[in-house]
Amino acid sequence: KNEVEQSPQNLTAQEGEFITINCSYSVGISALHWLQQHPGGGIVSLFMLSSGKKKHGRLIATINIQEKHSSLHITASHPRDSAVYICAVSRLGGGSEKLVFGKGTKLTVNP
Amino acid sequence: NAGVTQTPKFRILKIGQSMTLQCAQDMNHNYMYWYRQDPGMGLKLIYYSVGAGITDKGEVPNGYNVSRSTTEDFPLRLELAAPSQTSVYFCASSYSPRGSYGYTFGSGTRLTVV
């Protein structure tokens, strides 16, 4: 079983819909990251979470440390949000430099 | 700022050939990483560095070598290329070990070994 599991694997939405992508992990972590991989392949950091909730524009990320679960929400989705969203965790203790990645969730937003 | 610059963007190698993937960052980040991304799989850490002169293995280091002689540069060397090394390679850097200020990724190198 992978240490980081994402769901769903693929998600298709209509423009304007509210999107939720889930991430569950099975190890102790010091931080959780959400990344976005554009259709052209480039990867950018969206959020780093160690507790609570963060918001940037139409993106909201939450984490529940006790339940080992995080969600990424996109409000008022737009075709330009189409990308692969990747969850990754920094393990607690030694080796926090070594991110463990989920396989990603491919989001397609249709106009 | 240029961020993280990776070269080349594409390369085809024959089995047994060697090559070096270049990675340079201009943000004075101490932490640098090499990942590979295979279809349908999460990124896997090949090697990482916590500063000039210090490198360590990640999850999948076999068949690769790295060096870190300066803060800016972190080249990845493939010796005796094998078809299993066909992948997309990403270099990344961060200011802190757990990416408190995020990670900056290069644009990737698509490598095919035939």
**Max CA pair span of chain B:** 40
- A103: contact with B, CB 8 A cutoff: yes
Mean pLDDT of chain B: 94
Q: Residue B97: what pLDDT?
A: 80
| Contact criterion met (CB < 8 Å) for B98 and A31 | yes
The pLDDT confidence band at residue A2, using thresholds 50, 70 and 90, is confident
User: Which of B19, B24, B66 lies closest to B47 in space, CA to CA?
Assistant: B66
* pLDDT tens profile A5-31: 999 999 999 999 999 999 999 988 989
| Contact criterion met (CB < 8 Å) for B33 and A97 | yes
Find the length of chain A: 111
Q: Which residue of B has its CA nearest to A10?
A: B40
- Euclidean distance between CA atoms B28 and A2, whole angstroms: 33
Does the pLDDT value for residue B55 go beyond 70? yes
| Contact criterion met (CB < 8 Å) for B33 and A43 | no
* pLDDT tens profile B79-107: 999 999 999 999 999 998 878 788 999 99
Contact A103, B40 (CB under 8 A): yes
| Contact criterion met (CB < 8 Å) for A86 and B42 | yes
Q: Which residue of A has its CA nearest to B31?
A: A97
